[in-house]
Homo-oligomer: A and B are copies of this chain.
Amino acid sequence: MELSCKSEYALLALLELAAHYQSGEPLQIRQIAARQSIPDRYLEQLLASLRRHGLVRSQRGAKGGYLLARGPWQITLLEIVDCIEGLDTQAESHHSKATPEKVVVWETWQEAYQAANAVLQGYSLQDLAERRDAKQQLDIMYYI
């Protein structure tokens, strides 16, 4: 787990797609990138990852773009970061033989990761979108 810039970009892009989900129209890389200030050629790669993992669908050709593969309430943040950070990063780290100390440390690491993952699994894309909307409403109220 890294929770780096990469995951943040992906999440911001998916929030844009979630906002357009009801329209049924695809959203293009350029538009997403412009609205969230993400380098478009970089975002392209992240969306490709999300597509290969089945989180978004793509439509090629003119009038193409990207759509969420499911409803925003069916996509958890954990799925997103697992797509992006690659869940093979911790696949096999016990290349050296496992001493009791290493096993205990490893189990503790896993427990910490699990705690963070549980938080991410507890939020759906829609939850995030709603929290963003609430925050925007607050900004408007303060503006008045």
Task: Say yes or no for A87: interface residue by CB 8 A criterion.
Answer: no
A101→B139 CA distance, assembly (Å): 13
Partner of A116, one of B100, B103, B113: B113
Interface residues of A in 1-52 (CB under 8 A from B): 1-3, 8, 11-12, 15, 36-37
Query: How many copies of this chain does one complex carry?
Result: 2
- Indicate the size class of the contact surface on chain A: 35 or more
Query: Which residues of chain B are within 8 angstroms of A77 by Cβ–Cβ distance?
Result: 108
Decide: A119 near B115, CB < 8 A? Known: A101-B36, A102-B12.
Answer: yes
Does residue A69 face the partner (Cβ distance < 8 Å to B)? Answer: no
Does A56 belong to the interface (CB within 8 Å)? no
Let me know if A132 is at the binding interface, CB within 8 A: yes
Q: Which of B100, B101, B112 is close to A3, meaning CB atoms less than 8 Å apart? A: B112
